[in-house]
Amino acid sequence: MIRQSIQKQTGFSAITAIVMVVLLALMGAYMSTFVSVSALNTSSSEGAIKAWFAARSGVQWAVHRVLSTGTCVNVNGQAITAGLDGFTASISCVETAAITEGSATYDIFDIDVTATRGAIETFVSRTINVTVTDNSAP
């Protein structure tokens, strides 16, 4: 007669395998979230740079118009969209004061340009404020 020895199995390997699978699943979920957030940050940075350049373009347009006409009338409340890659540059212009120094009179203009694009999840906005005068310093 052949005698077989029956050993008591404890299941230690099965428990180790389950713990390893759970840990690997958690690491995979974490890495997936990490990659998604990293991609979103990169996209936001790119949008912020584009918004700054769109606002800068609006400032250049507004300064040119104000200095060529000497007034904020045709600039204030304008919204520019042409050539701004989907951004809208909203312009606000205020003639703050006329200053006289000696024989020279300076008109001072405060120009605010806000470039915006996107909806709630992808909204990007940048504002630039400049102050210009229509007369150069002596």
pLDDT digits (tens, 9 = 90+) for 27-62: 888 888 777 777 666 667 788 888 999 999 999 999
* Residue entry with tokens 């120094």: 101
**Is residue 138 scored above 90 in pLDDT?**
no
- Mean pLDDT along residues 56-82: 88
pLDDT given for residue 4 in this prediction: 64
Report whether 104 contacts 135 (CB < 8 A).
yes
- pLDDT band, residue 91 (cuts 50/70/90): very high
Contacts of 78 (CB under 8 A, 6+ apart): 62, 90, 91
Give the pLDDT band (50/70/90) at residue 1: low
Q: What is the pLDDT of residue 43?
A: 64
